Amino acid sequence: MVEADLDEWRTMYDTNVIGVARCVQDLMPALVAAEGEVIVIGSVAAHVSYEGGGGYVAAKHAVRAMVGSLRLEMFDQPVRVCEIDPGMVASDEFALVRFHGDAEKAAAVYAGVVDPLTQEDIAECVAFVATRPKHVNIDSMVVRPRAQAAQHKIHRVSP
């Protein structure tokens, strides 16, 4: 945090926090009318801080707080509110953005991890949440690959 690039933090906050808030505000009338659901993709970073992740962790903690507040605000409306918090998802785009296009650093994130989550895994979680009966609300779902027991504890195999 001491050496953080605050412009990067601003981008993370604008994307993860302000972007979610804008979408919710713009879509809520239609969601209420359709008895729909708000499904926000958060991160396990909302649950545990880690070195070098101050901006991302702060943004994802904010997302978690917003979703909790939204659920309370919408309690009397026919709208379900869920947060899905993935752990390690093998996504070249995410890692490349995180490391400013440095493909070697991006690949190192997933090196030796057997079966990290895929974007399709997270899509299946979204589909599961969205297809529950209307009276069922899944407040939050934490999903990690089996190889990731915790944010900091990842099983890696040598090549």
Name all contacts of 48-54 with Cβ < 8 Å and 24+ positions apart: 48/150, 48/151, 48/152, 50/151, 50/152, 54/1, 54/4, 54/9
Give the integer Cα–Cα distance in Å for 105 and 68.
34
Q: Which candidate in 13, 50, 56, 110 is catalytic?
A: 56
Is 56 a residue of the active site? yes
- The DSSP letter of residue 14 is I
Locate tokens 């939204």: which residue? 70
> Which residues are catalytic, by number?
56
